[in-house]
Amino acid sequence: MNDGSDSDGPDRDVLDRAADLLSQASHAVALVGAGMSKESGIRTFRGEGGLWTERGEPPLNQYDGFRDDPKRWWERRLEQAAAEDRFGESLDAAEPNAGHLALAELERIGVVGHVITQNIDDLHRQAGQQSLTEIHGNRHWMRCVSCESRWPRVEFPVDPEALPPRCAQPNCDGVVKGDTVMFGEPIPPTALVRSEQETMQADLFMSIGTSAVVYPAAQYPMIAVQRGVPLIEINPEPTPLTEVASIVLRGPSGEVLPRLVDAVRERCSP
Ligand SMILES: [Zn+2]
């Protein structure tokens, strides 16, 4: 297999084969991981320079702490929000990169039907992606733990005198938390169901900036491959998915995806 690697990104013929597949697709599904956020200057959690490498990993039973005492959790969260938070600042300063914009463009062209992202940074929305599942949540949103309703944080003011906040839906009094999925917290079932449904409808699958070794993300490319759907991998490094990918585009998504958009446009224009 040609892995298309050289110092200038993927070879033209590998890119052309990927563009051929994409231009024939009408419901490509993309799984996106931390590599894409990193290209927008967001710190990773693990590895060299990672947030957790520096500070230590959060407790694995983080969600138990929330469930046992949501009021206390909210008090601490509001205290922390007032304190300096370099990671939060790096997230707030981040903007969609050329890869996010290109992925949204592939949706507008009618090629990409859905994006499943592991990132919590909101950058797909800011880039204009419409059909999106954020399996680990979105740091700018809130979620009811009972009915899974979600609201942008700005539309859900939290009263420090009435913690924890409660669901605004009629007939639901569930506790509301930040949408970001905590350690030990189950992925919201609606996100899992949607991701699986979209994957079952995919006529092409793309794995972008993710090593896809962690459940549940890992299962989606494999479901697609088992269905006989071609998998395109876009990543600067080899991953466990490389050997099952039909086409591997070595390079950062911010460089590869815009080239792919250009090549797809050439094929789709009348
Ligand atoms: Zn609710």
Structural domain including 112 reads 12-268
- Is 114 one of the annotated active-site residues of the chain? no
Number of domains in the chain: 1
Strands (E), 16-124: 28-32, 112-117
- Ligand 1 centroid to 142 CA: how many Å? 11
Taking Cα atoms as reference points, which of 44, 151, 47, 145 lies closest to residue 90? 44
Q: What pLDDT does residue 127 have?
A: 98
Domain assignment present for residue 26? The answer is: yes
Mean pLDDT of 150-164: 93
Domain assignment present for residue 145? The answer is: yes
Mean pLDDT of the chain: 90
Domain assignment present for residue 2? The answer is: no
- Ligand 1 centroid to 119 CA: how many Å? 24
- Say if CB 233 and CB 242 are below 8 A apart: yes
pLDDT band at 144 (very low <50, low <70, confident <90, very high): very high
Please give the order of strands across the beta sheet that includes 28-32: 132-134, 112-117, 28-32, 204-208, 231-235, 247-250
- Ligand 1 centroid to 218 CA: how many Å? 29
Pairwise CA distance, residues 77 & 72, whole Å: 9
Q: What pLDDT does residue 1 have?
A: 43
- Ligand 1 centroid to 150 CA: how many Å? 9
Domain assignment present for residue 6? The answer is: no
Domain assignment present for residue 3? The answer is: no
Domain assignment present for residue 5? The answer is: no
Catalytic: which of 100, 124, 136, 140?
Answer: 136
Give the C-alpha distances (Å, rounded to integers) separating 126 from 40, 56, 60, 123, 140.
12, 30, 31, 5, 12
Q: Which uninterrupted H or E stretch holds 142? A: strand 141-144
**Residue 6: is its pLDDT beyond 50?**
no
Domain assignment present for residue 79? The answer is: yes
Better pLDDT: 52 or 97: 97
- Ligand 1 centroid to 268 CA: how many Å? 44
Pairwise CA distance, residues 19 & 12, whole Å: 10
The CATH code of the domain that includes 115 is 3.40.50.1220
